[in-house]
Amino acid sequence: MASMRGKRFQFLGFYKNTIACRCLSLVFVVLLFSAAFLSSTPGFSSLQANHFDGIYNSSVSNSAFVVRKDKFLEVPQIVWGLNNQKIAFVRACLTARMLNRTLLMPSLSASLFYKEIELLEPIAFDKIFQFEQFNSICNGFVRLGQFSDLSNPTGPFELLKGSGRKWTVERDLDQLKQCREDPAIDDFEVIRIVGKNPFLWHDHWPVKDYAKIFKCLVLVDEIANEATKVVSKIREVGGNLRTDAVQINNAPLTPYIAVHMRIEKDWMIHCKKLEQRSKINQICSSKEEIMERVAHIVNLSKPIVIYLAIADSLLEDASVLNGWKEGLLPFEKKKLGVWDIYKKHPYLIQSAIDYEVCLRADVFVGNSFSTFSSLIVLERTQKLIEMGITRSCGLDVRWPSYAYNILGDLGGPQRWMTAMSDSSLHAISYGSNNISC
């Protein structure tokens, strides 16, 4: 009887195991068909590629990851405006990270190449940002090297980045994977990427990875000190206008607003074309619209100084200081008396000073389709997140930011924070009217 009962239990076990196997087989078949269906779905492969690389970068950001110091990546000279150059630089850093290589310190450009072609002189990275400080803050994530670090006399492996519609995100990612995994390529001390500007490379990395590297970009003391002089002058002017100015070490700490006023001729041409292509009418803003919306920001303690960050050489409207509401006191470089600080520097450094002045402002107002504005808001968002604030809508927070090209509450500009969870930097690189607050 006991043996019969044992056989019965064995049979029941076999029967249960058979059912389990069939169920598992069925699940496997369903998953197989689901994978086949999704792989044929438009856009899935792109999402899959971005997800893969996001996982790759997150997985190697721990303490076990060490950037190789004997393998290097070289990129073309970085061009265009300051913040396009910053994005291009970070994209080059993340490309080097994926290949587990040190990025050779690239050349930046001191002027806008489309305006001053004959003056397009390279300027070393360490003339704008602190080299050692960058490697210290970004230690274990990315690394910068110098050409003097090279030891192998053999030539580099030249990698041509594709272009055009056929050069998809997937093909770009496959090329990087091949460079990382092919021993014949990886044996080269230097991989030199030739072709287009890194700003135009395909993006494979989430905003949070960009943000990590932006935090490592610390201005050299000379430029930071110039920005401090401008901020001090703004607060001094504001202190002379207010009876409630707080004094610390004989320096007024009066608040000020910085407005990145994009009404220059090059921007107006660009934004109107962009509105036509994208069928979005929230990109261009006239001087009058900007002034009206800034005037409707709630909880402003007036009178208050408004610093207008604007590319003076491209400005055709000389009346930007006229028409502001009572209690809003606009100043640009010349009226503020700081033009002498700016004029001795090339365009890139002038822009870096303005960026820092806007970054330090108590309130910042910009255009969500501007790279300059977007990167300032990204850094200000990081400050809020470090304070435990993940959303600012309806809250009276420190360092609030606004987008004047989008109508917000009570006729004012829309409150603005960067969506740090985005899977790519596309919205910041090219702008968006879908902003988070």
Q: What is the pTM of this model?
A: 0.81
Q: Which pLDDT value is given to residue 278?
A: 86
157, pLDDT greater than 70? yes
For 30, 172, 194, 196, 425, the CA distances from 163, given in Å and listed in that order, are 38, 10, 12, 8, 19
CATH 3.30.2010 is held by the domain 54-214: no
Residue of 214, 142, 175, 117 whose CA lies nearest to 429: 214
Cβ–Cβ < 8 Å for 157, 191:
yes
Using the Cα atoms of residue 177, residue 199, residue 227 and residue 103 in order, give the sign of their dihedral. positive
Question: Structural domain boundaries of the chain?
Answer: 54-214, 221-430
Taking the CA atoms of the chain, what radius of gyration do you get in angstroms? 27
Sort strands 328-331 and 256-260 into parallel, antiparallel or unpaired.
unpaired
Compare 114 and 318 and report the one with higher pLDDT.
Answer: 318
- Residue the block writes with tokens 């960067």: 418
Cβ–Cβ < 8 Å for 117, 134:
no
Percent of the chain with pLDDT over 90: 60
Residue of 287, 386, 372, 387 whose CA lies nearest to 330: 287
Condensed to tens digits (0 to 9), the pLDDT of residues 33-87 reads 444 443 333 333 333 333 333 434 443 344 567 899 999 999 999 998 899 999 9
Sheet-wide strand order for 363-366: 328-331, 304-309, 256-260, 363-366, 401-407, 413-415
Lowest mean pLDDT of 220-234, 255-269, 341-355, 401-415, name the range. Answer: 255-269
Condensed to tens digits (0 to 9), the pLDDT of residues 300-309 reads 888 999 999 9
396, pLDDT greater than 70? yes
Q: Which pLDDT value is given to residue 308?
A: 95
For 54, 255, 262, 358, the CA distances from 308, given in Å and listed in that order, are 38, 15, 10, 9
Average pLDDT over residues 155-175: 93
Average pLDDT over residues 327-346: 94
